[in-house]
Each structure stands twice: as structure tokens, then as C-alpha cells.
Structure 1
């Protein structure tokens, strides 16, 4: 199973090439063996600060949405048959964030946990924290699963 988890993490990290996820330097670093939670990290740099020098809330939400949609993708990939693996798209249709702490530097980590895994909708909670385990933000998102035509 550990080999399969490594393969899935590598796939996620390879899919991000030439995307916003790559520009934000987001890296997927841990996936649970039950595929129910995924962790990613993102360094804080000057490009993702707001004008007052603190982490921009939009950067935090970008990290949260990236890890949440990726968790849905992995769960769908695992649940579908080989012929159907690439027959769907995952889209975030709603995200709500509460920003708790202002920070200026360090590493952000986002832990996404899937709470509802339906055929059409996934509900995911994401905790965003720093390397000292201080909660920075928490988010709730809803992903919709749409079959490709």
C-alpha cells in the first residue's frame, strides 16, 4: 500500500506542472492509506503577501482549494474502474474560509479531510496551519463531480 500512496502523491505532484499550483510552489506531501486525508505544503514568500506584509487570504484559499480538489480526485480515481478513470472532472463549487491568525513568513501546511463522499458531491474540511502547528485558517468546501461528455 505504501508504494501505491507514493505513486498517487507523485501523480498529484506531476499533474500540477504549468498550473497555479506550481506557481504557488504547493507540494503534496502526505496521503493517508484510507485516502481520507491529504496534506500539502506551501512556502510563504513576498509574492503571496498582501500590501501590509501579511499572508494574503487568497493564497491561503488557493492552497486549501488545491488540496481539497486533489483529495476528491484521488478518491474518484481509486473508486472508478480503469476504463472510467479519466471520465470525470472535479470542480470546487463553494469554499468558505475563516482566517484566524496573521503571519508573514514560514511554511503553510493544509490538511484536507473528506467528510462526505457522494456520487456527485464531496464535502471537505481543510485546516491550514504553520510549521509550529498554529491554526492559520480553516475552510469548508464542496466539490462537484461531473462526467466528461
Structure 2
């Protein structure tokens, strides 16, 4: 794992250099926008469905946790690491095709904890799921 970027670096550049992780890549996530104040990513429905053809609820959660944890790490800054300690999701609608978009915004950005809300919507702008993630921020061990 690489350290976080300088605070003046473009968030998308930082996110691309850090990478989303193997699971997010397998699920087809792509960052569209990335900053401490707002992070946006998309994910295809195809390949992320339940046996009945609906977007899997866990896929919404993976999208939310990826966005929230990455945004928390950007906020944490160099030499610090944000790790998820709580996540919850309320699914209100199902997607069966196309692409879903997650928009992550901070609820609280503290020195030792962050809380983010991620709204996942379909291509028509209808909210499908609302995810809230809490991350604890800690110092990276010194070598």
C-alpha cells in the first residue's frame, strides 16, 4: 500500500495511483470524480447481479465502502490510514441493467474519525441505495 498524496494533488490522480483494489476492479468500478468533498464512481449492473437478475445488495455496499474509505484516506493525509469500522445500507430500489453511480459526501471529517454518506442511483437518477460508512483514522506504523 502506498502512502496518501500531498493535499494539493488532484484527487483523481491520487486515486488512480493508489488503485481501487482487486475487488473493486473485478466489479468494474471506475472513478469519475474524486476529492475530499465529493467522490463519484460508476459500476456496471452486468456481472454484479443476484441469480434473479437484480443488482446484488452487496455490490451497492462494495461501491459505497470503496468510495467512503478512499475519500477518508484522502482526508487522512500522508502518514495516516483510514479503516472502516461501521457500515450500513438501506436498499430502496433495484437495478437490472445499465450502470449505477455512487456519490460520496462527507457527514463528518474529524482528526480521528470520518463519516460518509453514499447515494447510489441508476441512469434515470433514481436512488437505489443509501450507504453510510464510518472510518477510524490512525497513524501508520513507523519503520
TM-score class, shorter-chain normalisation, is 0.7 to 0.9
TM-score (norm 2): 0.86
Alpha-carbon contact 2:63-2:102 (below 8 Å) kept = yes
Cα shift readout 1:44-90 (whole Å, capped 9, x = no counterpart): 11x3111111100011100000011111112223xxxxxxx1x2221
* Ranges in structure 1 where 5+ consecutive residues have no aligned partner: 78-84
TM-score (norm 1): 0.83
Cα shift readout 1:123-147 (whole Å, capped 9, x = no counterpart): 1111000121110000111011121
Q: Name the structure 1 match of 2:30.
A: 27
Deviation at 1:114, TM superposition (A): 0.6
* Ranges in structure 2 where 5+ consecutive residues have no aligned partner: 1-7
Cα shift readout 1:92-142 (whole Å, capped 9, x = no counterpart): 111110000011111110011111111111011110001211100001110
Q: Name the structure 2 match of 1:80.
A: none
Number of aligned positions between the proteins: 134
RMSD of aligned alpha carbons: 1.6
Q: Name the structure 2 match of 1:12.
A: 15
CA distance in 1 between partners of 2:13 and 2:96 (Å): 29
1:57–1:141 CA distance, 2 compared to 1 (3 A): same
Q: Name the structure 2 match of 1:91.
A: 83
Q: Name the structure 2 match of 1:36.
A: 37
Alpha-carbon contact 1:110-1:128 (below 8 Å) kept = yes
